[in-house]
Amino acid sequence: MHDGPDPTDAAAVHRHLHSHLPSDPALRVKALESLAVEKGLVAQETLDAWIRLYDEEVGPKRGAHVVARAWTEPAFHARLLTDAAAAVREMGCHGHATGHLKAVENTATVHNLVVCTLCSCYPFALLGMSPVWYRSNAYRARAVREPRAVLAEFGVTLPEDCGVRIWDSTAELRYLVVPQRPAGTEGWDADRLAALVTRDSMIGTQRDLGPV
């Protein structure tokens, strides 16, 4: 018999405590943020404003509202497919990332997939920060060679009569996939439709957007 704590109980407590801690990268970012504020390099209010901007505006919500408007306004839909850069400027989206933009539309017989084989060019003003997998060498190489296999790994299985078009994004030309409007959403307004649109669907690694 020993007087100390049960090792099993101690291990369980340790796991419980650490399960509530942020990841190491998050801790490092928080430490840098705190140091920058403490040294007077940036104001906390400025950091909070940038976080709100990327979370609530620059993130995929902007792109989702572009898609929802295209679903509900035929005239805007036509302008988006003809000159996407001009169309998104109508909605207040400006900047280099959207200055050279092409919209490509999914149909029953065509699925579009965007990749940047050279680096990770991406319309971040519409879609927010690019996901880690989009920047990975594996995705950049395999999306071009075996797109159906890559899509299957994202849960997208295309019928044989549906072709895949690969669009190689560059600094001079970036792409926005306009997914198909889900069935059963007739009569929905643009805000409700925008809630269905995901970042991955606007890259092309998601296809079906069922109503929720």
* Residue 163 phi, psi dihedral angles, 5° rounding: -80, 160
Compute the distance between CA of residue 27 and CA of residue 205 in angstroms, rounded to an integer. Answer: 30
The CA-atom distances, in angstroms, between 11 and each of 1, 18, 134, 162 are: 19, 11, 37, 53
- The number of helices, as runs of H, and strands, as runs of E, in the chain is 13, 4
The set of residues, in sequence order, having a beta carbon less than 8 Å from that of 204 and lying 6+ positions away, is 106, 111, 112, 113, 114, 151, 177
Residue 210: φ, ψ to 5°:
-70, 150
Tokens of 150: 């890559």
> CA 125, CA 173: separation in Å to the nearest integer?
14
DSSP letter (8 states) at residue 179: P
Residues counted in the chain: 212
Catalytic residue annotation: 116, 119-121
